[in-house]
Structures are given as structure tokens and as C-alpha cells.
Amino acid sequence: MQSIFDRVWRCLGEKQVGIIGLHGTGGVGKTTLSTQINNNFCNERNDFDVVIWVVASKDHQVEKIQEEIGEKIGLSSELWKKKSLRYKADDLFKILRKKKFVLLLDDIWERVDLKDVGIPHPDPNNGSKIVFTTRSVEVCGHMEAHKHFRVEFLENEEAWNLFQSKVGEDTLNNHPDILELAKIVAKECGGLPLALITIGRAMAFKKTPEEWSYAIQVLKRSASEFPGMNEVYPRLKFSYDSLPNDKVRSCFLYCNLFSEDFNVLKGDLIDCWIGEGFLDEYEGIGARNQGYHFIGILLNACLLEEVSSTVYDRVKMHDVIRDMALWIACEVEKEKENFLVHAGARLTEAPKADKWIGLRRISLMENQIENLSEVPTCPRLLTLFLKDNRLKMINNDFFQSISSLKLLHLSFNPLTKLPSGISKLVSLQHLDLSGTQLEELPKELKALDLKCLNLNGTNHLRTIPRKLISEFSMLRVLRMFYCGFFSEDSILFGGNEFLVEELLCLEVLNVLSIDLRSNSALQKFFSSRKLHNLINCLRLHRLANIKSLNVCSLATMKHLEILHISDCEDLEEVKIDIICKVQEIREPHGFQNLRSVHLWSCFRLRDLTWLILAPNLRSLFVGNCSDMEEIIDISKFGEVQQIMGNLNPFAKVNDFILGKLPKLKSIHRNALSFPLLQEMNISECPLLKKLPLDSSLAITNRLEFVIRGDKHWWEELEWEDGATQNVFLPFFRSLTINRHQNECGEPEAELGSVHNYVF
């Protein structure tokens, strides 16, 4: 808080900064900061003529703001108050334009038109300043703020200090166990000052460990029952009430189905919203764009938090915001929503069937439930999250009385078989089976009219009935990345060529992830412009007798984000055809969305120069390519750069992983910027004697990353000089190579990380 105050105070002294915005979640301390700024002006000498502090509130009225400003500058007579808004604005403007003022507007929810109120616009000539607080960063844009600052949640130590000050030393020292229990309670407040203060005051005279243990149980089970939280949640709920419409509000409440601190992929969240019918159906891509728009609204309102990751962007819900959302869903709008959320509760059995009656959304994700033997009766149930349990068996009649179900999430369970009774789910729109051990999809699925089907990571899947996929005429999202058994003699649909034929029948499909395992499947896929426009994740696996891939065939896939090429033993090059098709690559969509490239066991590939055409690449993994000599061939790079203009390879790469490349001599012959690099892993690359890094790079960009590798390899590296070596020495970590291989021949750690961000 002090840090933000100091930054704002410095800005108030900058001539070019006239309007400053402070934004953040309700209860995070924006008003405290605004008050502190006001008090600082009162306590310190300054050259401003007048300092005005106004609480705008959610339903701000121009008249109310005018009257509060008027009182501060001597316009407070009853006669003046009876004037029209326009004349009041004229009077205020005439006085304020002759003054150097500071206006503090606290808690605004939308743009305040300065002209309508009668406030002169701050500029370097008049030297006046406006500081406002808001819950939405969008308001900072509407107010044309020259600077804006987000007021963050408190860090652990700061939060603990605030909590201690409210509880008091007498209570904390009353029993040796209380201090550790108090730290757990403080952590449940998630760094939100409002919650820390409220709960700290409530615990001030709880002087037995039993009372503190009970408080922890209440906060974890249902924080809304905790004394004082009835004051916290209504204040936070203003942000929910201020969302633009019921669709966005439903999307927000939906996020509390995920477990505490769960980082959900934006794409997965939007898939769920599509399955639930929250997004407009006029066109598939349009619905997805609307989903990203809704996520933006929730981020700007500080109701969701952005979580950066290597490949995909994720969001999460702050603990206190999640508790508030559960309170709204389970208490405030119980009749409309009616949630039951036991996510991450360590349950070994599902709640008894009588507990399901009347519920609309249930989340039992991240538990230890092994079977669903009871048959619940819940005709209103729309959503069922069973992700990340130990499910091995589902009663065949389990689904018979939940026919209204729209979304079923069974991912990451050791299920080998689905019950035939799943055909009873005639309303099901979204089915997530990713990461399960299913061996076949039952033909009974034909009874469903799915919009989203996720089969990512179903490596044990041997059988999908012919004509099943093409039966889903309303399918919008199909994810089949790493889907199907790896063995050559039992591959799903041969090499997936029959699957490609069925995909062409799906008229409304707009998102596709797929593996291609044969030349004929590849050719059929490349011949369809429609499928090119849909592909999100593509894996080329065990393609025989293909020596060359033309990069232009890949560049036309404008939504491609992840590309994996594995066990293509004959592949010698990914060719950049400069002469005939460079214009296709230069189009705005060419590789603009490609974020991750993963190559494994492509023994004849010598370089990956084509990666210079992927400006937004975040993650590169190259392993077990025995002929790889250079990552970027400088001779090819120069030729491309002459036509394409200035290129900056790996400008957005976070992770750079190279392993089992016995002939690799160079990543790039010149130093590269790597401004966003977080981790560089180099293993079993004995001829790689120099990294494309120099000392000025580390100093200029203040790189804070890790270089992992074998200690002997690190000691043998060649550097520009001793000073350069010393600069990068603190970044090095010795790498222990895990030689255990999985059934693909890929190191388990690397494949696991791939599965983490894809599935």
C-alpha cells in the first residue's frame, strides 16, 4: 500500500500527469489510499489552492458531486443548490479554472463527464490533478487516465501483520497453539484487507485453540457463516451486481465450480460456457470471441485474475472472491442457481443421493471417489464436475434421472468404460473425457447431440465406432490431441484418415485438435481448407516415407497454437518455399498464433530455421533428433530475412528445452534477445559449445531465468570472455537427467508437462 502511495505521490508531481486512476477488487484498500492522499495534502505544505475529496458511489449523480465540490469552494447556499445542473456546472467551472486544484473521486463505477460536472480538464498549464478509485480498469480508459495503478492483495507478511494488529497480542500469546492456527486463518483471507480486518476483529477475544480450529473449519466449509462476513460479501457483491448482464454474471458464478486456487485454461472455460449455452450461437468463432470478451470483463472488474503460463493463458478466482461467489450461488440466488461445491474436499464417496435433489450444478472435482453406485434423482441438474477423482465404475442407471444435464466433466479418472446408460443424457452438450483410460467409446453416444467433446490424452482408446463423430451434427469443439493407442497395429481409425472424412461432415465445427498418423490422412487433411481454419492443436506422428514438409502447408492454419511432430523418422526438412508462397506466410495469420512446438525422434532433421516465422512462440522442445546440427541455419535465415524484413527469433519464448541432440553445434550463431526467457534446459548436447547470449543482454534486460544442464557441459562452454561467464554463472542449475522412458520413447517429465498444459 505504501509502495503504491509513493508512486501516486510522485506522479502528482509530474507536470504531464493530470489524471490518475487506482483500480482493484472491492475491499482491497483503494479508499484507504485515497484517504491517505487526501490527509497527506492536509498535513504537508503544497502549492495547490484547494483539495476536494468526493465519494461518488455506484449510482453517482452529477448533482451530488457538484454539491460536494460546491461546499468545498464556497457554493453551498440553498439558492445555488436549486439551480439547474448546467448552471451549476458553469459556476463551478468559472471558479475552478482560476484555481490549481486536486480532486479525489472515490469509488466511481463509470465515466464521470468532467464537462457536465463543471470540472476543468487537468493539463500542464493549470497544474490541476484528478485522482479516482474504481473497481474496473476499463473505467481508467474511459476517464482517459494518464497513469493507472492496480491495488493488489497484500503479500503474506503484510497480511499477517495487519491480521495480528486486529487480533491483538494478548489473544495470540494466550496459548502456544494459537499462533500457528492464526496464521492459517489469516491465509484464508487471501490478502484482502477488508477480510483480514473483519475476521481479525471477530477473533480478537477467541483465546482457546478449539475456537480457532472451529473458525478454520467454518472458513473452509462455508465462509459466509463466519461472523462479520455478512458485512464483507455485500461490499464485494457490488462488483457482481455491476456486471453488464445476466450472461456475464452466470459465467462468473460458474467459475466457483473449480477448486480453490485452480488455474483454468481460458479455452477450457469457454468450452464449458458454450456447452452451458451462455454464449451466443449465431456463429461458432463469434461465440468463442464472446467468451474471451466475457473473460476480459471479469478480469477488468477484478473478479478473475490472469495467470501467465508457458503456452496457454489461464485465469483463476481469488479465494475470497470464490467464497463470495459461492455465497451468491448458494444463498442469495439459491432458487435460480443452487450449487453444491465440494471440490478438493478429500471425499472418498459421493454425497448421498438425497443430497442431490433440487440441485442445478454440482462440483466434486479433485476428490478420491472410486465409484458412483447410487442412483440420484435430480431432474434439474445441469452441470456435474467429477474431474480428477479415482472413478473406476459408474452404475449403469446412474444417469437415468438427470436427463437435463448439459455438461459432464469426467476428465482424469481411471475409467476404462462408460456405462451404456449415458444415452439417457439427451440434453448433454459438453462431454469431457480427457485423460481417462477409456478403451472404447460406446455406440450409445449416438443418442447425444453434443457441442463439445474432449478426448485429449485418451492414450488407451482403441475403438471409436464408425460414423459416430459425424453423427454429432451440432459439434462445435472437438479435441482429440494424443487420442488413440500408440501401437501401429491398433491405431484408432488406421492413421485417422477415416476420421478426417467424418470431420468434413461437421458443418458447424470451429475448434479442432487432432493427431494424424498416416500419409493419406495428412493429404486428406491438407486438401481441406475448411479443416485448416479450425485446427488448434496438431500432432504428426509416425508419418512414414515423408522426407519434406512445406512450411506453407502449416502456415495456412491460422488458429494453430500447438504443433507436435514425433517419430517421423524419414523427415529431413521443413522447407521454407521462398519463391512461390512467401506471400502466404507474410499474411497476418501465418504462424501468428503458434505458441508451442514439440519435436521428438525426427532423426534426419538438420535444422528448424522455419521457426523464425513464428513470432509468438512461447515454448520449444526438441529431443532425440540425432542429425540436428543447428536450430536456426544462418544461411537460410539471411535469405528469408531479405524478403520478410527484420525478424527476431524467439522474442517471446519462455521455455527452451533441447535434449539428446548429439550433433547440435549451434542454436543461433549470433546473440539473441530472449527478453521473456524463463528457463533453458540443455541435456545430452555434447557439441553445443556456445549459447547465443552475451553479458550486455543480461544487464540490459535484467534476465532472471534458469539455465539447466550437465555440470561438465557447463564447465566446457565457450564464452565471449570471463566477465560474460561470470554474469551468467548465477543462473546455472545442474540438471539431473531422468533416463526412464515412457511408451512413446519420450522422457516422462517432458511429456507430463505437455499433458499438463494441453489437457
Please tell me whether residues 324 and 248 are part of one structural domain: yes
Please tell me whether residues 72 and 185 are part of one structural domain: no
Average pLDDT, integer, range 360-366 = 95
Q: Is the pLDDT of residue 720 over 90?
A: no
Kindly give, in sequence order, each residue whose CB lies less than 8 Å from that of residue 48, ignoring residues fewer than 6 positions away.
41, 100, 101, 102, 128, 129
Q: Is the pLDDT of residue 236 over 90?
A: no
10, 12, 13, 16 alpha-carbon torsion, rounded to 10°: 110
State the CB neighbour count (10 A cutoff) for residue 541.
Answer: 22
Please tell me whether residues 320 and 286 are part of one structural domain: yes
Predicted confidence (pLDDT) per residue in 195-233, tens digit: 888 888 888 888 899 989 988 887 777 777 777 777 777
CATH number at residue 122: 3.40.50.300
Q: Is the pLDDT of residue 646 over 90?
A: no
Q: Is the pLDDT of residue 245 over 70?
A: yes
Q: Which amino acid is at 433?
A: L
Kindly give, in sequence order, each residue whose CB lies less than 8 Å from that of residue 380, ignoring residues fewer than 6 positions away.
338, 358, 359, 360, 404
CATH number at residue 279: 1.10.10.10
Confidence of residue 588 (pLDDT cuts 50, 70, 90): very low
| pLDDT at residue 736, rounded to an integer | 64
Is residue 383 in some structural domain? no
Average pLDDT, integer, range 506-530 = 90
| pLDDT at residue 750, rounded to an integer | 33
Please tell me whether residues 117 and 214 are part of one structural domain: no
Is residue 572 in some structural domain? no
Query: Cα(691)–Cα(670) distance, rounded to whole angstroms?
Result: 9
Supply angle C-alpha 17, 21, 26, rounded to 5: 165
> Cα dihedral sign for 234, 239, 245, 246?
negative
| pLDDT at residue 751, rounded to an integer | 32
Is residue 711 in some structural domain? no
Confidence of residue 261 (pLDDT cuts 50, 70, 90): confident
Please tell me whether residues 249 and 202 are part of one structural domain: no
| pLDDT at residue 613, rounded to an integer | 86
| pLDDT at residue 602, rounded to an integer | 95
- What is the distance in angstroms between the CA of the first residue and the CA of the last residue of the chain? 38
| pLDDT at residue 689, rounded to an integer | 94
Transcribe 386-439 into DSSP letters. Answer: --SS---EE-TTTTTT-TT--EEE--S-------GGGGG-TT--EEE-TT---S
Pairing of strands 305-307, 314-316: antiparallel
| pLDDT at residue 389, rounded to an integer | 96
Question: For the chain, what's the residue count?
Answer: 759
φ/ψ (deg, to 5) at 254:
-60, -30
Domain limit, last residue, from 227, 254, 276: 227
Is residue 100 in some structural domain? yes
| pLDDT at residue 266, rounded to an integer | 92
| pLDDT at residue 741, rounded to an integer | 40
| pLDDT at residue 488, rounded to an integer | 46
Please tell me whether residues 202 and 281 are part of one structural domain: no
| pLDDT at residue 492, rounded to an integer | 57
Predicted confidence (pLDDT) per residue in 373-414, tens digit: 999 999 999 999 999 999 999 999 999 999 999 999 999 999
Please tell me whether residues 146 and 24 are part of one structural domain: yes
Asked if residues 133 and 302 have their Cβ atoms less than 8 Å apart, the reply is no
Query: Cα(721)–Cα(718) distance, rounded to whole angstroms?
Result: 8
Distance of CA 405 to the CA centre of its chain: 26
Domain limit, last residue, from 209, 227, 245: 227
Confidence of residue 747 (pLDDT cuts 50, 70, 90): very low
Number of domains in the chain: 3
Query: Cα(666)–Cα(689) distance, rounded to whole angstroms?
Result: 8
Is residue 678 in some structural domain? no
| pLDDT at residue 376, rounded to an integer | 92
373, 377, 383, 385 alpha-carbon torsion, rounded to 10°: -20
Please tell me whether residues 199 and 242 are part of one structural domain: no
φ/ψ (deg, to 5) at 324:
-65, -40
Largest CA distance in the chain: 92
Kindly give, in sequence order, each residue whose CB lies less than 8 Å from that of residue 211, ignoring residues fewer than 6 positions away.
203
Query: Cα(31)–Cα(739) distance, rounded to whole angstroms?
Result: 56
Transcribe 600-656 into DSSP letters. Answer: ES-TT----GGGGG-TT--EEEEES-TT--BSS-HHHHHHHHHHH----TTTT-SEE
Residue corresponding to grid cell 463423430: 469
Residue corresponding to grid cell 535469405: 639
Asked if residues 484 and 565 have their Cβ atoms less than 8 Å apart, the reply is no
Q: Which residue has the higher pLDDT, 286 or 485?
A: 286
Name the DSSP letter for residue 463.
Answer: B
| pLDDT at residue 641, rounded to an integer | 61
Transcribe 31-58 into DSSP letters. Answer: HHHHHHHHHHHHHS--S-SEEEEEE--T
| pLDDT at residue 24, rounded to an integer | 87
Name the DSSP letter for residue 256.
Answer: G
Transcribe 89-145 into DSSP letters. Answer: HHHHHHHHTTS-EEEEEEEE-S---HHHHTPPPP-TTT--EEEEEES-HHHHHHTT-
Confidence of residue 591 (pLDDT cuts 50, 70, 90): confident
Query: Cα(622)–Cα(637) distance, rounded to whole angstroms?
Result: 19
Domain limit, last residue, from 90, 116, 150: 150
Supply angle C-alpha 733, 737, 740, rounded to 5: 155
Distance of CA 568 to the CA centre of its chain: 33
419, 421, 423, 424 alpha-carbon torsion, rounded to 10°: -150
Query: Cα(82)–Cα(74) distance, rounded to whole angstroms?
Result: 15
| pLDDT at residue 731, rounded to an integer | 87
Query: Cα(503)–Cα(476) distance, rounded to whole angstroms?
Result: 11
Confidence of residue 662 (pLDDT cuts 50, 70, 90): very high
Its domain, for residue 221, covers: 156-227
Average pLDDT, integer, range 556-564 = 91
What's the mean pLDDT when you consider all of the chain?
85
Distance of CA 702 to the CA centre of its chain: 26
Kindly give, in sequence order, each residue whose CB lies less than 8 Å from that of residue 524, ignoring residues fewer than 6 positions away.
497, 500, 501
- Nearest CA to 21 among 124, 113, 142, 155? 142
Report the run of H or E that residue 312 belongs to, with start and end. Answer: none
Name the DSSP letter for residue 440.
Answer: B
Query: Cα(721)–Cα(751) distance, rounded to whole angstroms?
Result: 37
Q: Which amino acid is at 411?
A: S
Is residue 677 in some structural domain? no
Q: Is the pLDDT of residue 54 over 90?
A: no
Radius of gyration, alpha carbons of the chain: 30
Please tell me whether residues 36 and 127 are part of one structural domain: yes
**Three cell numbers written together for 134:** 474504481
Please tell me whether residues 9 and 121 are part of one structural domain: yes
SS3 314: strand
| pLDDT at residue 232, rounded to an integer | 78
Out of 17-31, 43-57, 246-260, give the one with best mean pLDDT.
Answer: 246-260
Q: Is the pLDDT of residue 14 over 50?
A: yes
Pairing of strands 264-265, 101-108: unpaired
**Three cell numbers written together for 102:** 486536486
| pLDDT at residue 177, rounded to an integer | 92
φ/ψ (deg, to 5) at 388:
60, 55
**Three cell numbers written together for 336:** 435460480
Q: Is the pLDDT of residue 595 over 90?
A: yes
Predicted confidence (pLDDT) per residue in 102-114, tens digit: 999 988 888 888 9
Predicted confidence (pLDDT) per residue in 470-492, tens digit: 999 999 999 999 998 654 444 45
Kindly give, in sequence order, each residue whose CB lies less than 8 Å from that of residue 125, ignoring residues fewer than 6 positions away.
none
Confidence of residue 578 (pLDDT cuts 50, 70, 90): low
SS3 575: strand
Q: Is the pLDDT of residue 469 over 60?
A: yes
**Three cell numbers written together for 750:** 517432458
What share of the chain has pLDDT > 90, as a percent? 43
Is residue 8 in some structural domain? yes
Please tell me whether residues 49 and 138 are part of one structural domain: yes
Please state, in angstroms and as integers, the Cα–Cα distance from residue 693 to each residue in 310, 388, 554, following that order: 21, 42, 30
- Nearest CA to 713 among 661, 654, 653, 650? 661
Predicted confidence (pLDDT) per residue in 171-197, tens digit: 899 899 999 999 998 888 888 888 888
Please tell me whether residues 65 and 192 are part of one structural domain: no
Burial class (CB in 10 A: 0-12, 13-18, 19+), 209: middle
CATH number at residue 194: 1.10.8
Average pLDDT, integer, range 338-349 = 90
What share of the chain has pLDDT > 70, as a percent? 89
Residue corresponding to grid cell 451549476: 88
β-bridge partners, 362: 340, 384
SS3 73: helix
Is residue 392 in some structural domain? no
Report the run of H or E that residue 356 belongs to, with start and end. Answer: none
φ/ψ (deg, to 5) at 281:
-100, 10
Q: Which amino acid is at 715?
A: E
State the CB neighbour count (10 A cutoff) for residue 45.
Answer: 5
| pLDDT at residue 59, rounded to an integer | 60
